[in-house]
Copies of this chain bind each other. A is one copy, B any other.
Amino acid sequence: MHYTSIQNDKMKKLHKLSQKKYRDAISLFLVEGEHLVLEAYKQGVLEEVFLKEGEIFSIDVPISYVNEKVMKYISQLDSPPPILGLCHKYDKAKLGNRILVLEDIQDPGNIGTMIRSSVAFGVDSIVVTKKTADVYSSKAIRASQGMLFYVSIFEMEIEQLVPILKKNKIPIIGTKVNGGKMLKDIEKFSKFAIIMGNEGLGVTQKTLDVCDTYLYIPMQKQCESLNVGVAASIILYELDKKESYE
């Protein structure tokens, strides 16, 4: 197929995928650029490719061509890449044993960074609360470097999650700027659910109340806190190190 008009119904549909509401409704999302298209393909979630006229790309899913105007219309980036992929959200596996919980995280870059670090350090499941920004936004997927496809994502409120964790004897670990155990002193965990809170507010008191353990990362006194993506990554690094190498 060759699309040259932004009035085309299918192109309108792709354009609307910039909205979380629409992504949720039809369980599809876009990835932009060759690297992400290939990662999506490897994981079997790639449905169709949209290529700028004149570009060459070979892959065994349907390929359609679009002109520059249409590419600008369907892309969510200021400088659209020459290739977009339409993907389906995959069926969720069962919640795993090494879980990162994102409670009301606002910045898509932070979300993507945490997904990338999660895969680096052996997390198998990511739980996002309703108030967390969408993991399927173009920005979050780019920041994840396609690592999104290597973890199971669950949208769930903390109240729904806690009974499942308790039943499966998965310790709930809350993070505080101060208080609790110093990160380096925590024991080895083969199962865990780490809770990371909103950029400005931290983990909510309600959620801290249901945690089994608390930990903090010691730092010099001039600095009040770390970027949430950095804090999560340091914690996951330390847990993975204890599990794998000590």
Q: Spell out A's residues near B (CB within 8 Å).
A: 109, 113, 116-117, 119-122, 143, 145, 147, 150, 182, 184, 217-220, 222-227, 229-230, 233-234, 237, 240-241, 244-245
Q: How far is the CA of A245 from the CA of B185 in the complex (A)?
A: 10
For A149, the closest partner residue in chain B by CB is B222
Q: How far is the CA of A122 from the CA of B145 in the complex (A)?
A: 30
Q: Which of A143, A222, A244 has the most chain B CB atoms closer than 10 A to its own CB?
A: A222
By Cβ-Cβ distance, the 3 closest A-B pairs, closest first, are A120-B219, A120-B223, A230-B233
Given contacts A116-B223, A227-B143, contact A218 B234 (CB under 8 A): no
Given contacts A113-B227, A229-B230, contact A120 B237 (CB under 8 A): no
Which of B109, B184, B218, B220 is within 8 Å of A109, CB to CB? B109
- 27 A/B residue pairs, CB under 8 Å, sorted by A: A109-B109, A113-B229, A113-B230, A116-B226, A116-B227, A119-B220, A119-B223, A120-B219, A120-B220, A120-B226, A121-B219, A122-B220, A145-B224, A145-B225, A147-B223, A150-B222, A182-B245, A217-B237, A218-B245, A220-B240, A227-B229, A227-B233, A229-B229, A229-B230, A230-B230, A233-B234, A234-B237
